A and B are shown apart, each in its own frame.
Chain A
């Protein structure tokens, strides 16, 4: 793991991002006021249960939200050498140019995202062609083959079809495409969820290596906290469209602040707690009928009266951790020490 050194460049700044889906049943705030800052070369993990809005957040940054979804407000600024770009203010053509060259996306199911009737090389060249129209064919081929090599694939993969590759190899092809134009930000949406452990480790290590090489910031989306502990620098936890905690990986795994993050960490199997299963009681709320006050209060073991009525404050500790919970004041100090830790509720 590389440590982040002093004078850090900010790669991406997301402010107050809001995405709403207008469904027949009503308005759904899938992403509700999320703020994030990513430094160049940093790996941020974004975790949460299915339906918490983590993929929507990624799609919003790629500007790939389709109706009935809409980005309602916010900004997503990428800092480049040529100045700052607000992704959410670009027009369609500018955004098309920005994808892959400024921000790229490694999708969830690699097996489904490659064109089955097109050779790998052709797909890679296609992707570059629209960004660098004046480059010669030979130059593009060279670049594609180099990208394949950088993810530890043979140059011969260039001439293969997707069905000739294994799942792990296809996922690495997707990574190679993602880094073709050295983007500032790479979003990897559960890049290894369909792979088994050995291949998963290989793919993740590949992502880390190429990302460090091009100094890109990575947002790793997933629900596997184990993976987050292994490779991220910071972890953000989302719940029902809101960011509930953002801490360094070390702080998150040793001393999580938010009760949801605590429950999430506690539910993880590790070597010492064999046979003890601590699920998180209850279910994620429907975004159509969010609970009042703090959205987590019906499942929270520390829930107080105020949690039912008022949304929690957004606290930032002096060390830069973000937490949104009534247990903490605006500086992140624990203000309700009396709320003692109940025995974990048995999973229902």
Chain B
């Protein structure tokens, strides 16, 4: 198993102020390996402020970690040479949240799709370029004749988001970083976008880092899941295991708050309540202030990850009888199917 993209003990700290340095730890000693040999979809889930977007920016090489390294095929992303960097840019693609903001309204979709083809010299002739565009649009379930020649405002949010996916697909990437790709799309159109992401994995062997706050969709498309809370991993492992039998109190709170479209699965079956503005103590468990099972030791030291099962670990003292799992080994929980 060769790592494709690896975050190795990565921390990202944002500091403010000239004299009194006020520091925000967006991501704290996070490690994650995305495997090269078997394509998989890894979901990174958490509420706002959990560090999930910081993580996607790091994976895309947009920002550099304060500590630790982001490695692509074993090479530090921040230190890539010109050629290598171009290859990295081509092989790691992104789909962003807002399908209404990513397109330049003055250009047609053709232009949008030709730019990467020209930039990376993917086609030798105009006809070949056209053919590539048509192929990738069809691959995401759009009819090229309905899309090409149109302007972004003539298309729906769902169509636009699928064009984003098609644009990424043109470059035959190895990894797609999808940051909340469906949160701004009508619920009824979400299924089609998720389906095209699933197809990328199955038919084109592309791994996906799926960043979301929506555990429903995470459950549906991903193989593995990492639940983040204020910059640290709370629970990680196989997606079925984690979602169906959540162990960490935070994961339970998240899963309990999902509005399932099922009249018999009501909210409020648990008494965990959300509180706002609680930033916890500097040392103890980050979730201590909101946790219904909080114990004395939770406020004193941060719990390490405990390996509850071969495919799941949780960072909580409730499970301190299980063996410890080092942060670096989170990815050992992932089984590739």
CB within 8 Å of B: which residues of A?
A: 1, 49-50, 166-169, 196-202, 205, 223-231, 249-250, 253-254, 263-265, 267-271, 274-275, 277-280, 283-284, 347-348
Q: Which of A200, A250, A263 contacts B263 (CB 8 A)?
A: A250
Could you name 8 residue pairs across A and B whose Cβ atoms are closer than 8 Å? Answer: A49-B188, A50-B157, A201-B274, A226-B258, A226-B261, A230-B266, A268-B187, A348-B141
Which residue of the partner chain A has the closest CB to B214?
A: A197
Asked, given contacts A50-B186, A253-B262, A269-B216, whether A198 binds B257 with beta carbons under 8 Å apart, the answer is yes
- The reply to whether B47 and A224 form a contact with Cβ atoms under 8 Å apart is no
Is B76 in contact with chain A by the CB < 8 A criterion? no
- The reply to whether B47 and A201 form a contact with Cβ atoms under 8 Å apart is no
Is B81 in contact with chain A by the CB < 8 A criterion? no
Q: A197-B215, A197-B258, A230-B266 are in contact. List 8 more A-B contacts (CB 8 A).
A: A198-B257, A228-B261, A229-B260, A250-B263, A267-B187, A267-B191, A279-B195, A348-B192
Is B301 in contact with chain A by the CB < 8 A criterion? no
A279–B143 CA distance with the chains assembled, in angstroms? 16
- Which B219-258 residues sit within 8 Å CB-CB of chain A? 219-221, 240, 243-244, 253-254, 257-258
A49–B260 CA distance with the chains assembled, in angstroms? 19
Residues on the B chain within 8 Å of A277, using CB: 191-192, 194-195, 198, 220
Residues on the B chain within 8 Å of A205, using CB: 267-268
Question: Which of B48, B215, B254 has the most chain A CB atoms inside 10 A of its CB?
Answer: B48
Which residue of the partner chain A has the closest CB to B143?
A: A348
- The reply to whether A224 and B187 form a contact with Cβ atoms under 8 Å apart is yes
Residues on the A chain within 8 Å of B263, using CB: 229, 249-250, 253-254
A44–B219 CA distance with the chains assembled, in angstroms? 29
Is B217 in contact with chain A by the CB < 8 A criterion? yes
A277–B194 CA distance with the chains assembled, in angstroms? 7
- The reply to whether A199 and B47 form a contact with Cβ atoms under 8 Å apart is yes
Is B277 in contact with chain A by the CB < 8 A criterion? yes
Q: Which of A201, A230, A278, A284 contacts B191 (CB 8 A)?
A: A278
A348–B276 CA distance with the chains assembled, in angstroms? 42
Q: How far apart are A13's CB and chain B's nearest CB, in angstroms?
A: 27
- The reply to whether B220 and A200 form a contact with Cβ atoms under 8 Å apart is no
Is B189 in contact with chain A by the CB < 8 A criterion? yes
- The reply to whether B259 and A224 form a contact with Cβ atoms under 8 Å apart is yes
Residues on the A chain within 8 Å of B260, using CB: 226, 229-230, 270-271
Residues on the A chain within 8 Å of B194, using CB: 277
CB within 8 Å of A: which residues of B?
A: 47-48, 141-143, 156-157, 159, 186-192, 194-195, 198, 213-217, 219-221, 240, 243-244, 253-254, 257-263, 265-268, 273-274, 276-277
Which residue of the partner chain B has the closest CB to A202?
A: B274
Question: Which of A196, A271, A278 has the most chain B CB atoms inside 10 A of its CB?
Answer: A196
- The reply to whether A223 and B220 form a contact with Cβ atoms under 8 Å apart is no
- The reply to whether B188 and A197 form a contact with Cβ atoms under 8 Å apart is no
Residues on the B chain within 8 Å of A169, using CB: 276
Question: Which of B159, B187, B265 has the most chain A CB atoms inside 10 A of its CB?
Answer: B187
Which residue of the partner chain A has the closest CB to B216?
A: A269
Residues on the A chain within 8 Å of B243, using CB: 271
A167–B273 CA distance with the chains assembled, in angstroms? 17
Residues on the A chain within 8 Å of B186, using CB: 49-50, 223
Residues on the B chain within 8 Å of A348, using CB: 141-143, 192
Residues on the B chain within 8 Å of A271, using CB: 219, 243-244, 260, 262, 265
Q: How far apart are A241's CB and chain B's nearest CB, in angstroms?
A: 16
A284–B155 CA distance with the chains assembled, in angstroms? 11
- The reply to whether A226 and B216 form a contact with Cβ atoms under 8 Å apart is yes
- The reply to whether B214 and A279 form a contact with Cβ atoms under 8 Å apart is no
Q: How far apart are A170's CB and chain B's nearest CB, in angstroms?
A: 11
Q: How far apart are A16's CB and chain B's nearest CB, in angstroms?
A: 27
Q: Which of B142, B188, B215, B265 contacts A279 (CB 8 A)?
A: B188
Which residue of the partner chain B has the closest CB to A1?
A: B266
A275–B219 CA distance with the chains assembled, in angstroms? 8
9 tightest A-B contacts by CB?
A226-B259, A279-B192, A277-B195, A279-B191, A277-B191, A201-B257, A268-B261, A196-B213, A196-B47
Which residue of the partner chain A has the closest CB to B253?
A: A198
- The reply to whether A166 and B254 form a contact with Cβ atoms under 8 Å apart is no
Residues on the B chain within 8 Å of A197, using CB: 47, 213-215, 254, 257-259
Asked, given contacts A229-B259, A253-B261, whether A168 binds B276 with beta carbons under 8 Å apart, the answer is yes
Residues on the A chain within 8 Å of B257, using CB: 197-198, 200-201
Which residue of the partner chain A has the closest CB to B244?
A: A271
Q: How far apart are B195's CB and chain A's nearest CB, in angstroms?
A: 4
Q: How far apart are B173's CB and chain A's nearest CB, in angstroms?
A: 22
- The reply to whether B191 and A347 form a contact with Cβ atoms under 8 Å apart is yes
A348–B199 CA distance with the chains assembled, in angstroms? 13
Residues on the A chain within 8 Å of B47, using CB: 196-199
A118–B166 CA distance with the chains assembled, in angstroms? 45
A1–B143 CA distance with the chains assembled, in angstroms? 45
- The reply to whether A274 and B220 form a contact with Cβ atoms under 8 Å apart is yes
- The reply to whether B156 and A196 form a contact with Cβ atoms under 8 Å apart is no
A227–B276 CA distance with the chains assembled, in angstroms? 21
